[in-house]
Amino acid sequence: MKVTCLQMDIDFGNPNENKQRVKKEIIQAMLDKPDVIVLPELWTTGYDLTRLDEIADHNGTESQLFLSELAKKHQVNIVGGSIAKKTSSGITNTMYFHDRLGDCVGEYSKVHLFKLMDEHLYLQAGNSKGHFAIEDAKCAGLICYDIRFPEWVRAHATDGSEVIFVVAQWPMARLEHWRTLLISRAIENQCYIIACNRAGSDPKNEFAGHSMIIDPWGEVLAEASKGPTQLTATLDLEKVPQVRKQIPIFADRRTDLY
């Protein structure tokens, strides 16, 4: 499975401009013929939280149609980063997954809201796991702050996830946390971690970039720098059961104690 992360800058509060950027990025990415393309967190709006009531996507309808058309046109699986989804009960930070036919095969709303960026003031937390499948691969999607909760990542791994996609707007100030947490999550769950961060800055933050693709041993297969770029690596999905068999941490867990 070949995966490409679109580590792109995001135009603050401008969904139309960001959609045009994504179209161009995907055209460029398809020159390398990936099986999966991954977008960053809140790629339509950025962290323009105070205007989300105005610019969020009602029921996620436009975003789903946009991603569906691109997936079908290019015959590629898309892990659709996340968008601000507005419903009658509030706004969620929601990720969509589309297959090569353009069908939406799953969605996940961010469970852990990051108070340091005021998410809790403008967003509602999700209440379900991020499981989906890409062809024969069992996958999961997580969003940014989620990676600081190892029990949440482990819950997806124990449910069978072999590839975990992380989309983010992680700031430069905590770059080393980003790298260390992602590598740790790969090692302790013996799975691939595909982490797509944004590049650039907004009125309040500089973002770290450094998207990463990490194998089940914790080896970094590819890592970007901080600027806009595309990051690609090929996954050997047979490695997941091999590593889990060699060091059987799931079988050795003491579920009677924890």
The model scores a pTM over 0.95: yes
Residue 63 has a pLDDT of 98
Identified catalytic residue from 107, 110, 139, 196: 110
Residue 254 has a pLDDT of 95
Q: Is 110 a catalytic residue?
A: yes
Q: Show pLDDT as tens, one digit a residue, over the chain (258 residues).
A: 999 999 999 999 999 999 999 999 999 999 999 999 999 999 999 999 999 999 999 999 999 999 999 999 999 999 999 999 999 999 999 999 999 999 999 999 999 999 999 999 999 999 999 999 999 999 999 999 999 999 999 999 999 999 999 999 999 999 999 999 999 999 999 999 999 999 999 999 999 999 999 999 999 999 999 999 999 999 999 999 999 999 999 999 999 999
Identified catalytic residue from 5, 25, 41, 85: 41
Q: Is 191 a catalytic residue?
A: no
Residue 210 has a pLDDT of 98
Q: Is 144 a catalytic residue?
A: yes
Identified catalytic residue from 139, 144, 191, 196: 144
Domain ranges of the chain: 2-251
Residue 72 has a pLDDT of 98
CATH class of 2-251: alpha beta
Do 205 and 167 form a contact (C-beta atoms < 8 A)? no
